[in-house]
Each structure stands twice: as structure tokens, then as C-alpha cells.
Structure 1
């Protein structure tokens, strides 16, 4: 049975992870119609596919024309639920001739929607961003439902093998570090601080792996070189491979970033440094140890510090981050495979 509903997914990794409860509510609502499909950027699509929530996953990138073609080729959908607020997201579904188009009438796109739903006047936690849209579709989100991803055993085994290949030891805690964040430098804690943290962790006997993406590769390579070589995962842009490796780590240290939310969904503890953004907006309670300073200018949500001092991030000390990370892994117990699993090549 083919599905009649396609959800237009979000562009950023973290936003898609935080939308998992919304996806689950829509899947439950339309289960009698074959479930739901999702269209999302190719680097995120593999992770969404591994979640097992969707009847069909449509990976797309590139121009509006290519996205329209991908949507048409995927099937004849009766209904589109549009999560992004952009004009283009609605235009794609309109041009693909999808009969029902549900979404918020933002970015001058009301004329493209058959079912424009009033957006919340105030913004609370990001988990609640789509509550009015879900209510209009009679698809309420389960109260207190939080994002979770259970990777298939073969994918978790791939993560173990990948870490072994790059020199990690699975019988000791592995600390993952993500120093980047594509939104802007204001969210970065700073390469020098991460370098000092890595050196301290290594002196204590911990293995460290750097997580990155194609847009952050140069930054990760600079940090790795300065630290006399730190293995890097994720530079090829495969978010599923990054998640597979992260699932085998004892903890993550990062800024407000996509990997932070992936770690939360995988139940991997983390230390997160927040400055220009508000953890109350995106952090799942109990999922991460938040470190932040307290300044009158926070949160500013700017890509660069408008005051040029960046104290909201630089005031968080290396010692504080190191201490928080070590406390998270004090009771680490390595995962043991019940039996060998033949590991597929991801993306083949």
C-alpha cells in the first residue's frame, strides 16, 4: 500500500531530530493510509530512513526544479505537510500538483497553501513548534514524547568497526568532540579551548574522536594536526555514519549543534556549551549537561558577536568542560556484541 501523505522535512540535522515526535504523530495519524513519506536533504535522509518511522524516504538536494522532479517521481501524493517555513518549501508541493498542502502561512506563501494554519504567536520549546499544525490534522503529539532514534544493530556494529579502524579502543571511554556549527561562529566555543580539552582528556587516558561535516572539515583538520593527530569522522557528510560512530561513544562535547541533538536521540550523554542561543528553546531536559555564562546580552541569536567580545562562550572555562565530561563517563561500561554481525556498506 503506497502512502498518501508526504512530509516536507527540515534542512538542518538538529531540527529534523527535534521534529521526530512530530513525524511520529503524523505516522500514527496516517497509518491507515499507508503511513507517511518524508522528503529531506540527502545527508539527513539516511538517518531518517534508519529511524524506521517512514514508509518512504525521498532524498533531495539542489534546485527547486530538481526537488519538484524528485517529489513527482516518488509517487502521487494526496497530501503534503510542510514543516519548513520557506516560500520554496510550499512552492515545491504546489508545482508537484499535490492536492492538499498544509503549513504555516509564512514568507508570503499563503496563496500556495490549501490549508494555511495559524502559527503560534509565542515560541516555546522547539518540540511544540508544530502543535497547531498537528492539531489541525487531528494528529496530536504524545505529551512528553522526546526525540529518540534506535539504530539497527548492523548500523551500530558499523560504528564499532569504524572506530576500531581509526584507532579507537572500545574497552575504554571514547569522547566525541564536535567543535563546529554551520550557523555561525558566534556559537563556537573556540578551537584553542577544544585543543586544550583534548590534550587534557588524552593525558587522562581517554580516546578522542572529532566529529565534523564537509563544511567544517578544515577546522577539524586544524584541531587534529595541533593535537598531533586526532581521528575524524563525518567529513564526507554522511550523517548516518556519524551517528553510528557517536552511538559507540561514552559522551560528546559540543556547542549548540546538530550532533548535540543526535546524541540526545541516541541516549549518549553530552556536555554542551551555549552562548548566543537559548538552551530552554532546544535542549531536552536531562539529555545534556549545559554550561553557559550569564550575560545581559544573551541570547542574541546572531551569527557573529555584535559586541565583538564573545564572552558568552569564552567565559566558559576548559576546566569546567573537562570536569563535566569526566563526570559523565565515570560509570562507563563498554557495549558488548552478542554475536558477530555482517556489517553492510552504508550508502551502497
Structure 2
């Protein structure tokens, strides 16, 4: 039986290396690919090559047998690190699936001599991949579809009628109990709030709206948990400062902690972000806010989601900052709309 510590057990089943994405949300969506591979080959082993930060998320995916850290910063080439990792992978895998479209992402499987290497065309990867697939954006109109398609035969992928199972992260009840005791949580039903979005401000609902909604929720008898990374600490404080039963947990919890804390929430209010996909993958109802991005392209993969978008003529623009300077697609989305949606569930 394969084990997590980096030494995979002897097996005659196919050994697959997946080169994973570099964003939290994309990594959660990649679980749909892992689920598809395991459904078709229950005895296969799946290893995921990805940034070190992703290991806590990968550890919550039952389908992943091994996580291999690639210690290269976002945007860095990291030739030495890639070559070093490739040496450790020689002879270990029959197939590699490369999810990112960059040249450098296909380098490790090539250097490791993995015989089958599949991915989409991009950045002149002619010699790095043995099977280069053209990305049909009209057929593969969602990120999750693109990921899953690379685990299928070319004919199946071209037909486009395949299913994409929803991600489902495992939970740690003991960790949740410890977190609730440490941070004084659980006195009221909890609503999660995620004000961050790594991509940029054109995906971020105004903090004043989050604050207004928090005040209304507390008055209605809820506890509010603001979650995010170290970059979101100031935003979390802006939302929660001075409010009883509002907890700014930004920067105080790990990514794995967010999995358990979000699963314990009744609902979450979130921008289109990595934590939105985490919340969807633990089964919590999601109130998802879209500004510059599109729910058609990166929807929360759950049947328990309400989408909030104004669908202005200028959106989605997919820009990091509003090119018109007003961000009306988010500013004009009133907190009252979210409050009504929360109360309706």
C-alpha cells in the first residue's frame, strides 16, 4: 500500500506523477483529476509535484499517495531545484500529467525520463511533452474540465462529455476542537468570511461591505470568523475590530486549519479565491462574490453555492485592478443582498 512519507510501495499498477498548479484554488480543483484517475484505476499511485505550501491541502486528499515539494518561488525558474528533484524521480513513474502550461512546469518530468508526458501546448514545449494537446477553450471552458481532460484519452477529452467529480477534502475533528478552544470559537453558529483574493483588488468585495455584513450577522446571533493569510491580517482587523463574536483569524491559522474551521461554519461569504474552493470542498454552503472574474470559468465546485454577480457590461474583465477605475461590479453589490441570501438558507 502506498504511503505518504515519500517512499511508494511496490506495485504493478500505473504510477502517475501530476505536476500541480501554483494557486490554492487550482490545487483544490485538481482533486477532480485525482478522483477521476483513481475511479478508473483504483490501484494506481498518484504523486503530486507542487510548491511546498500545497502539502497540507494534498494531505487532505484521499487520492494522493505522495506529495513531492518543489522549492521554487512563484515566478522563479529554479533550474537547480528542478534538476535535483528530477534526479530523485528517475525510474519511478510511467506517466506524467502536467497541469500548468508553462515551459518550466514540464521540465522535471522530461529530466526524470518519464516516458509518457501529457499536457496542453504552450510556451514551445515541443520536446518536453510526448503528447501535446491543443486547448479547445470552447469545449474546455472551465479550469476543472481542463485538469480532468488531461487524465483521459485524447478521444474522450475531445468529446467533452465527461464528468468532473467535486473535490472533497478530509477533516480532522481533533484539530478543529483544538482550534476552537485556542481561539474561543463556537459560542454561536459560525459564518466564515474570506475578504482576500490573491489575484488582485478587482476580485475583492469592499471591506466596508464585509464590515457592514458582519455587524448585521452578529446582531442576528452569529459568530463571524474572518479567514485568510498573513497578507489579509489588516483587512481582517478592519472587519472585526471592536465587534464581539467577530474573530480575525487571518495569519493566525495554517491552511490545513482553514479546512477544518470552514467545515464547521454554517455558511461562508467569500470572494472568488482559493479559500472559496476550500469551503466548497468541505461541503459548507458558499455565498460567492464575483467581480472581475467569471463564475462560468472558476465556479465553486459544489451544489451548495449561491453566486453573486451584477453582470455589468464591463465585467468580467479578468483584470487585477479595474481598468475603468470604479470597480462598480463589486462596490454596487449591496451587503443587504448577501444578508438576505444568508437568511434564506
TM range (shorter): 0.7 to 0.9
Conserved in 2, the CA contact under 8 Å of 1:195 and 1:226?
no
* Cα contact 1:25–1:139 (8 A) shared by 2: no
Work out whether 1:147 is the aligned partner of 2:158: no
Is 1:20 paired with 2:31?
Answer: yes
> If the length of structure 1 is used for normalisation, what is the TM-score?
0.84
Alpha-carbon distance in 2 for matches of 1:142, 1:47: 28
> Alpha-carbon deviation of 1:224?
3.2
SS at match of 1:241: helix
Write out per-residue CA displacement over residues 297-332 of structure 1, whole angstroms, 9 at most, x where no aligned residue. Answer: 11100000001111101111011112212333xxxx
Alpha-carbon distance in structure 2 between the residues aligned to 1:301 and 1:8: 25
Describe the shift of the 1:271–1:91 C-alpha distance in structure 2 as closer, same or farther (beyond 3 A). same
- Post-superposition shift, 1:43? 2.2
Taking the aligned partners of 1:44 and 1:163, their CA distance within structure 2 comes to 24
> Following TM superposition, by how much is the alpha carbon of 1:271 offset from its aligned partner in structure 2, in angstroms?
0.9
Matched, 1:311 2:321: no
Deviations 1:209-237 (A, max 9, x none): 11101332332234333647842335267
Alignment match, 1:163: 180
Structure 2 alignment gaps of length 5 or more? 1-9, 73-77
Structure 1 range deviating more: 75-84 or 264-273: 75-84
SS at match of 1:323: helix
Q: 1:139 to 1:35 in 2, by over 3 A?
A: farther
Alignment of 1:22-37 (within 5 A): 22-32=33-43, 34-37=44-47
Q: What SS does the aligned partner of 1:253 have?
A: strand
Give the aligned partner of residue 52 of structure 1. 62
CA gap of 1:314–1:156, structure 2 versus 1, over 3 A, is same
Stretch deviating more after TM superposition (309-318 or 235-244): 235-244
TM-score (norm 2): 0.85
**1-side partners of 2:231 and 2:161: how far apart?**
36
Compared CA separation, residues 248 and 268, structure 1 to 2 (3 A):
same
Q: Please, what is the CA RMSD of the aligned residues?
A: 2.5
Q: Distance in 2 between matches of 1:97 and 1:103?
A: 16
Query: Is the partner of 2:36 in helix, strand or coil?
Result: helix
**1:53-103 deviation line (CA, Å, top 9, x unaligned):** 012111333234324423543563232110111111012222333332211
The reply to whether residue 248 of structure 1 matches residue 258 of structure 2 is no
Unpaired segments ≥5 residues, structure 1: 329-348
36, 55, 61: which one aligns with 2:71: 61
For residues 322 and 110 of structure 1, the distance between their equivalents in structure 2, rounded to whole angstroms, comes to 51
Matched, 1:116 2:137: no
Query: CA 1:45–1:99 in 2, change beyond 3 Å: closer, same or farther?
Result: same
Aligned residues of 1:19 and 1:147 also touching (Cα < 8 A): no
2:194 pairs with 1:183: no
Question: Aligned residue pairs: how many?
Answer: 324
For 1:258-316, what per-residue CA distance to the aligned partner results, in whole angstroms no more than 9, with x for missing partners? 11111111110021111111112222363311111131111100000001111101111
1:58, 1:74 within 8 Å by CA — same for their partners in 2?
no
Q: Residue in 2 aligned with 1:40?
A: 50
Q: C-alpha distance in 2, partners of 1:201/1:22?
A: 37
Relative to structure 1, is the Cα distance of residues 121 and 192 closer, same or farther in structure 2, using a 3 angstrom cutoff? closer
Out of 279-288 and 187-196, give the one that drifted further. 279-288
What SS class does the counterpart of residue 151 from structure 2 fall into?
helix
| Correspondence list, 1:176-325, <5 A | 176-225=192-241, 227=243, 230-233=246-249, 235=251, 238-283=254-299, 284=301, 286-325=303-342
**In the aligned structure 2, how far is the partner of 1:52 from the partner of 1:64?**
31
CA distance in 1, matches of 2:61, 2:146: 21
| Corresponding position of 2:6 | none
Query: 1:303 and 1:237, CA in 2 relative to 1: closer, same or farther beyond 3 A?
Result: farther
Instruction: Output the CA distance in 1 between the equivalents of 2:263 and 2:82.
Output: 31
